[in-house]
């Protein structure tokens, strides 16, 4: 098929198309602008039909979400199947099964469908942490509270994370929010007590620890926190009260006994202090502080016992001395 023939065919096809679409008052010898546009369009359509055949429709590619370089643009996985709840639920199941890699992919796909979901950001972060990619996990969980400022699990994780990193100032905003939105949860006030202790705010630490105990009287760690904070401000009686209560609960940790021993020593109850440090050392023979305190107090107690024995012997010796003969003849009235 020659090009000239094809061009002729295209012109003919265009004429047919144009004739079918023009109004009766329009003529080819004096075309209007509308007719000119239609003519060009008809020729183009005819050429496309002859030379290229029907045009193919390209599948749509999902657009990326978020600003370029943002955390969302890095984490969300584009896909053609907007089933947020399916991907999210699938991620939860996979995470529970321990398949963290597949769970991460599922949550990333869920993010594409719902980029503002605090729950998805949190679960994605938790999956990263479970997979040993903690820095990415912290980043995603921090993003979760951007979309859900009152997300309790995200706040609790971040408070603990920054406490473990030795940064109580960064932990405090999360602990403060928890104490407000989860005020009936003893863990919220316990974390706040830890934060206050890390900031050397001892009275506040005592108050928050007492609140945790009021909500859960069996939570042994809150008793230790109150006792430890009380020792820092010289409230030794209060320290003994809470630390003795801790020894009646479980799990009993050697460091709790060590704190109690210090409280006993401050109150000059050296025998009780020694017994307490001996107990701590027996629970953990590698606990250096308890061992050092035990050995130190053993010397002190030995000296006290030796002094007491010497005093008793001296009294007995004095009692055994012969009495004065003149005095012995005087009757006792």
Average pLDDT of span 30-39: 42
Cβ(227)–Cβ(262) below 8 Å: no
Of residues 320 and 235, more confidently modeled: 235
pTM over 0.95: no
Report the percentage of the chain scoring pLDDT > 90.
64
Q: What is the pLDDT of residue 307?
A: 87
Q: What tens digit of pLDDT does each residue of 130-155 get?
A: 999 999 999 999 999 999 999 999 99
Q: What is the pLDDT of residue 44?
A: 47
Q: What is the pLDDT of residue 306?
A: 85
Average pLDDT of span 253-259: 97
pLDDT band of 35, cuts 50, 70, 90: very low
Tell me how far CA of residue 310 lies from CA of 136, 307, 315, in angstroms: 68, 5, 9
Of residues 24 and 222, more confidently modeled: 222
pLDDT band of 322, cuts 50, 70, 90: low
Average pLDDT of span 261-287: 95
* Widest CA span in the chain: 167
Cβ(145)–Cβ(171) below 8 Å: no
Residues 6 or more apart whose Cβ sits within 8 Å of residue 142: 125, 154, 158
Burial of 246 (0-12, 13-18, 19+ CB in 10 A): buried
pLDDT, mean over the chain: 82
How would you label 12-50 residue by residue, b for 16+ Cβ within 10 Å and e otherwise? ebbeebbeeebeeeeeeeeeeeebeebbeebbeebbeee
Burial of 153 (0-12, 13-18, 19+ CB in 10 A): middle
Say if residue 17's pLDDT is above 80.
no
Q: What is the pLDDT of residue 191?
A: 97
Average pLDDT of span 5-23: 45
Say if residue 106's pLDDT is above 80.
yes
pLDDT band of 315, cuts 50, 70, 90: confident
Token pair for 195? 């934060």
Q: What is the pLDDT of residue 314?
A: 87
Q: What is the pLDDT of residue 26?
A: 38
Domain coordinates in residue numbering, the chain: 11-19+33-52
pLDDT band of 245, cuts 50, 70, 90: very high
Say if residue 58's pLDDT is above 90.
no
Tell me how far CA of residue 28 lies from CA of 42, 85, 147, in angstroms: 14, 60, 64
Say if residue 233's pLDDT is above 90.
yes
Cβ(217)–Cβ(226) below 8 Å: no
Q: What is the pLDDT of residue 80?
A: 62
Say if residue 184's pLDDT is above 60.
yes
pLDDT band of 277, cuts 50, 70, 90: very high
Handedness of CA 181, 182, 184, 186 (dihedral sign): negative
Highest mean pLDDT out of 26-30, 56-60, 160-164: 160-164
């Amino acid at each position: 098929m020659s090009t000239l023939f094809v061009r002729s065919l295209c012109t003919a096809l265009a004429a047919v198309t144009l004739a079918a679409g023009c109004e009766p008052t329009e003529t080819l010898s004096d075309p209007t602008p509308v007719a000119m546009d239609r003519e060009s369009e008809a020729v183009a359509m005819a050429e496309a039909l002859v030379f290229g055949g029907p045009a193919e429709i390209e599948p749509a590619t999902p657009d990326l979400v978020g600003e370029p370089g943002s955390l969302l643009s890095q984490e969300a996985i584009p896909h053609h199947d907007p089933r947020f709840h399916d991907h999210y639920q699938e991620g939860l199941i996979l995470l529970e099964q321990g398949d963290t890699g597949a769970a991460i992919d599922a949550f990333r796909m869920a993010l594409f469908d719902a980029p503002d979901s605090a729950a998805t950001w949190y679960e994605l972060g938790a999956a990263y942490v479970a997979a040993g990619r903690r820095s990415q996990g912290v980043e995603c969980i921090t993003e979760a509270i951007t979309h859900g400022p009152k997300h309790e699990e995200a706040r609790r994780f971040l408070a603990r994370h920054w406490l473990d990193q030795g940064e109580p100032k960064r932990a405090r905003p999360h602990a403060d929010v928890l104490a407000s939105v989860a005020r009936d949860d003893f863990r919220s006030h316990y974390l706040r007590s830890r934060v206050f202790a890390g900031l050397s705010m001892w009275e506040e630490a005592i108050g928050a620890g007492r609140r945790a105990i009021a909500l859960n009287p069996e939570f042994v760690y809150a008793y230790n926190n109150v006792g430890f904070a009380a020792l820092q401000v010289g409230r030794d009686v209060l320290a003994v009260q809470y630390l003795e209560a801790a020894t009646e609960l479980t799990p009993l940790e050697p460091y709790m006994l060590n704190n109690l021993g210090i409280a006993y020593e401050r109150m000059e109850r050296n025998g009780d202090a020694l017994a307490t440090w001996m107990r701590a050392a027996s629970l953990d023979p590698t606990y250096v502080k308890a061992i050092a305190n035990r050995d130190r107090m053993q010397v002190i107690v030995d000296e006290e016992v030796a002094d007491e024995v010497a005093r008793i012997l001296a009294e007995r010796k004095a009692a055994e001395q012969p009495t004065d003969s003149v005095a012995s003849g005087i009757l006792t009235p």
